[in-house]
Amino acid sequence: MSRLSSSALLPESFDGSRDDITEQIGFVWDQIKAPLIIPLLRVLVVVCLAMSIMLFIERVYMGVVIVLVKLFGRKPEKRYKWEPIKDDLEMGNSSYPMVLVQIPMYNEKEVYQLSIGAACGLSWPSDRIIIQVLDDSTDSTIKDLVELECQRWASKGINIKYEIRDNRNGYKAGALKEGMKRSYVKHCDYVAIFDADFQPEPDFLWRTIPFLAHNPEIALVQSRWKFVNADECLMTRMQEMSLDYHFTVEQEVGSSTYAFFGFNGTAGVWRIAALNEAGGWKDRTTVEDMDLAVRASLKGWKFVYVGNIKVKNELPSTLKAYRYQQHRWSCGPANLFRKMVVEIIKNKKVNLWKKVHVIYNFFFVRKIVAHIVTFVFYCVVIPTTVLVPEVEIPKWGSVYIPSIITLLNAVGTPRSLHLLVFWILFENVMSLHRTKATFIGLLEAGRVNEWVVTEKLGDALKAKAAVKAPKKPRLRIGERLHLLELGVGAYLFFCACYDVAFGKNHYFIYLYLQAIAFFVVGFGHVGTFVPNS
């Protein structure tokens, strides 16, 4: 067979302009657009519209439930028996349940005093409470400081235990599991868990324990988070909007409908018997708290969310810390869904409604669809339709449904309504990492079990600002540049320019704004920047 020349394979129009790169790219694009790009894009549009409708129905459903809860005043104290635990003259303090308070920490130099002090300040009979500090720190200096702080409180008569281990196996789940093995824990009825930056009010136990003491079917009482640094920067305001919706709507709906809601990993109290029956702490995913909650729910235990009990804590204010946190919070649920979906379906202790709620509402729509559709639809499909005008997106899918979903998300933080546009753009940028993490979790790929502790600054940044530095800190370019965001930003900017020149849908207004948002994050100009000391 004779060897074919390049001129025989390529048409003359292409061969004659092979030196013109622009024309070559244009020719290739025309050749693959009709048979490949258009059909693929149409399929993606249909899939994204279907996911948008699923998300829309979920948001409307939760909105309706919240309105009904507010109208009929279905507070937890009315749905369950609640009355203060009273003194018993004959039994004395033994009438009070024994409470264990666990504080897992890892190199928490900036906040360890706050968390230990708040836990030791909890109002409860001193002989009926044990404070357990689970220190996995690898920095010997910090370990010494934490131990010294525990000794200081012990000298004041506080029953506080300082526990360490010789490895970090299982990370937080491993530390909590190891802490539950201590002999003195056998005498405890309930365990309250606070991460290192959480500061409960002194009456926290008085307000939560009665739910568990008077309702034997309840396994968990979850409180709400209150953010002490929400006003630190624009990024923390954006986080507040997202998390306020989670607590105001998602957690409230799961609790009020007796369906299911996840344990937030902190600021909650567990019945130790329920925790043990569910199999205890497991480190198979990066969301050990959600894992435990799902397993306890499948055993028939109920959870109650009490939104009027708020525990102060700190939002991650650096982009690096927030990205690591979001990777863990997106990858873990997807991986847990993969591991537990069959077990949930086969379970015989819970009814069909709860199974559907856990599988479809809690996992599939909120933890998978919400992440994927946000990035794929708004940052890939819509911009690409500018380049492929043959594919059209109906206005209800590109404008009306997203607008309603956004407004429903914003109800949790009325004070930030004027920041809604910034929140949309920022959430779309973060959806890039959430989508990537979701697929990593579903496929159990590379970083599926990566655990990076969220950095807490406490008052560290204020202290550094108070000290006048003689020289400006040297900035490392690698710490500020994020190539993924810059790449997506460049693509969106190109699509916006193309839409201005040839488009008809006027997407360029949104595309320019979204491109700028990706560039701002890509160049590291978001959040608080803490220079290396």
Number of other residues whose CB lies within 10 A of the CB of residue 303: 25
Report how far apart, in Å, the C-alpha atoms of 313 and of each of 198, 256, 303 are.
Answer: 5, 25, 22
Q: Identify which of 122, 134, 191 has the alpha carbon closest to the alpha carbon of residue 158.
A: 122
Q: From residue 450, how far is each of 143, 286, 334, 437 by CA, in Å?
A: 23, 7, 14, 11
Q: CA neighbours within 13 Å on the CB side: how many for 221?
A: 27
Q: Kindly name the residue from 136, 197, 244, 291 that is annotated as catalytic.
A: 136
Query: Would you give the DSSP letter of residue 38?
Result: H
Q: Judging by DSSP bridges, how do beta strands 99-105 and 160-163 pair with one another? A: unpaired
What is the C-alpha separation between 373 and 380, in angstroms, rounded?
10
Which candidate in 135, 197, 289, 499 is catalytic? Answer: 289
CA distances from 424 to 182, 327, 380, 417, 521 (A): 47, 19, 16, 11, 14
Identify whether 499 is a catalytic site residue.
Answer: no
Sign, Cα dihedral of 283, 285, 288, 293 = negative
Residue pair 429/523 in contact (Cβ under 8 Å)? The answer is no
Cβ neighbours of 308 (radius 10 Å): 10
Three-state secondary structure call for residue 446: coil
For residues 362 and 469, the answer to whether their CB atoms sit within 8 Å is no
136 catalytic, yes or no? yes
Active site residues: 136, 289
